[in-house]
Amino acid sequence: MILTGDYHTHTVYSDGENTISENAACAKELGIGTIAITEHGFTHLVFGLRRKQKEEYVREIHRARDETGINVLVGIEGNVCGLAGRSDLKEEDYADFDIFLAGFHLMSQHDTPRDFFNSTRGYFKYHWGGKPSARLVADTTRSYINAIQKNPIDVITHLNYECFADAVEVAKCCRDEGTYIEISGKKPHLSDEELVAVAETGVRFLVNSDAHSVTRIGDVAIALEQLQRVGIPFDRVDNIEGRVPVFRLAQYKERHL
Ligand SMILES: [Zn+2]
Ligand SMILES: [Zn+2]
């Protein structure tokens, strides 16, 4: 199935393997009309986009748009930094960006020691097993919700990857604020049961590749397979079958900038 847009890809600006123009050329070759370049955000301590690279990054994406003639979006995959709801883009960045993704990542800045311990605990429990405490789940859920409410986040990436939130509560907030939940083509992050419960909230989905090299751009097969397996109709997904998503950041910019 051809995507209307692949809204989550990485390049050499963070931990991807290819250049912006290579990602864009690949999308064009595949017949995908829109590709977002969404590097890890400024608050990622290891391979996030650096603030001093921002201008060059934006320029290069605009150049790729001119070269290919397809829609290449300036994006970021920001972090959910903690209970305060901080994420990567500030109001003054909005003019430069087209799409704002956010997810939990281990090596991001945290606002308080409690946020750091929550993130680290979640990571270790995810990979080594063990039941998360009620407080950890409550804090993680609250961190997602505060981030979604305080920032015009367009898409929550890999919900509950390396962390433990109440996915249904996060989904309700996404539904109310107009934020998409991404079903990743990289690997499944919600169990079948969780995905069904999340869908029952009425939230809308995107399927994206999270490609870190051109070999995976547009690859969402496992996401579609899971949706089909659990009986969620494809019309709940807004970037396939010719549908075009409506993004919060763009709407925010129209109203406020
Ligand atoms: Zn990520
Ligand atoms: Zn990513």
pLDDT at 2: 83
pLDDT at 40: 96
Ligand positioned closest to the Cα atom of 211: 2
Domain ranges of the chain: 5-256
- 3-state class percentages of the chain: helix first, strand second, coil last, to nearest 5: 45, 15, 40
Helices 167-177 and 134-150, axial angle in degrees (round to 10): 10
Neighbouring-strand partners of residue 71: 34
pTM equals 0.96
201 Cα–ligand 1 center, Å: 23
pLDDT at 231: 97
158 Cα–ligand 2 center, Å: 8
Do 107 and 81 meet the contact criterion of CB atoms below 8 Å apart? no
CA–chain centroid gap for 47, Å, is 16
Q: Which residues, given as ranges, of the chain have pLDDT below 50?
A: none
164 Cα–ligand 1 center, Å: 15
244 Cα–ligand 1 center, Å: 22
Do 31 and 2 meet the contact criterion of CB atoms below 8 Å apart? yes
109 Cα–ligand 1 center, Å: 14
117 Cα–ligand 1 center, Å: 19
Residues near ion ligand 1 (CB < 5 Å) are 103, 157
pLDDT at 257: 82
- pLDDT tens track for 174-221: 999 999 999 999 999 999 999 999 999 999 999 999 999 999 999 999
CATH number for 5-256: choose from 3.30.450.40, 3.20.20.140, 3.30.465.10, 1.10.8.50: 3.20.20.140
Q: How far apart are CA 88 and CA 78, in angstroms?
A: 5
Vertex 16, ends 74 and 158: CA angle to 5°?
A: 75
pLDDT at 1: 73
131 Cα–ligand 1 center, Å: 23
pLDDT at 212: 97
118 Cα–ligand 2 center, Å: 21
Ligand positioned closest to the Cα atom of 11: 2
Residue 89's CB is within 10 A of a number of other CB atoms, namely 20
pLDDT at 176: 98
- pLDDT tens track for 13-39: 999 999 999 999 999 999 999 999 999
243 Cα–ligand 1 center, Å: 24
130 Cα–ligand 2 center, Å: 26
